């Protein structure tokens, strides 16, 4: 309640100061709770990226639970222990594909680091994949 009063009574400059005095743990925690999905557009065809993604998930011991078709692509639901992973693959052009990943524990807690790692490894695998 006190922080709310400080923020509403003192304006933006005081709000920034108040947040910075709380420490990076709170700000880092907010990023963990509210982070956006990780996405990357790669210059490989859809099928190549999907194969690379499945290889990556297998190597990371993340199990695909179901796949659902969406407009111009697929939504893949996967799980690793308590971590839920939702991946959207979308065909942008015949040679461009977008990967978008949300990873986390339930709806609120997001794991941006894991999502980023999956995206990076998928892009690397797509580059070296023999088709």
- pLDDT at residue number 105: 80
Q: Please report the pLDDT score of residue 22 as a whole number.
A: 39
Nearest to 100 by CA among 111, 117, 112, 88: 88
Residues 101 and 46 placed together within one structural domain of the fold = yes
Distances (CA, A) of 114 to 26, 37, 77, 93, 130: 20, 11, 15, 27, 25
43 and 8, same structural domain?
no
Mean pLDDT of 82-92: 95
If asked whether residues 58 and 112 sit together in one domain, one would say: yes
CATH code at position 117: 3.30.310.240
For residue 63, what are the domain limits? Answer: 37-128
- Regarding whether 103 and 78 lie in a shared domain, the answer is yes
Which of these, 89, 17, 19, 24, lies nearest to 53 by C-alpha position?
89
Section 51-70 average pLDDT? 96
Across 101-130, average pLDDT: 88
pTM summary value: 0.71
Q: Examine the domain organization and report whether 15 and 65 are in the same domain.
A: no
* 10 and 64 fall within a common domain: no
- Supply the pLDDT for residue 23: 40
- Give the three-class secondary structure for 67: strand
CB 44 within 8 A of CB 64: no
Q: Please name which of 102, 14, 92 lies closest in space to residue 46, comparing C-alpha atoms.
A: 92
Q: What's the mean pLDDT in 36-45?
A: 94
Q: Which residue has the higher pLDDT, 52 or 26?
A: 52
Mean pLDDT value across residues 80-107: 92
Contact 55, 86 (CB under 8 A): no
Same domain, 97 and 56: yes
Domain count for the chain: 2
Q: Which of 24-28, 59-63, 126-130 has the lowest mean pLDDT?
A: 24-28
- Same domain for 124 and 84: yes
């Amino acid at each position: 309640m006190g922080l709310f009063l400080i923020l509403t009574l003192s304006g933006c400059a005081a709000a920034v100061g108040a947040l910075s005095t709380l420490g990076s743990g709170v700000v880092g925690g907010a990023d963990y709770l509210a982070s956006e999905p990780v996405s990357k557009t790669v210059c490989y065809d859809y099928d190549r990226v999907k194969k690379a993604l499945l290889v990556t998930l297998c190597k990371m011991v993340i199990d695909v639970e179901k796949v659902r078709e969406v407009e111009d692509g697929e939504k893949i639901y996967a799980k690793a222990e308590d971590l839920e992973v939702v991946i959207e693959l979308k065909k942008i052009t015949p040679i461009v594909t977008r990967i978008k990943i949300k990873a986390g524990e339930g709806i609120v807690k997001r794991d941006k680091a894991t999502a980023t790692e999956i995206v990076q490894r998928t892009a690397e695998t797509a580059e070296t994949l023999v088709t």
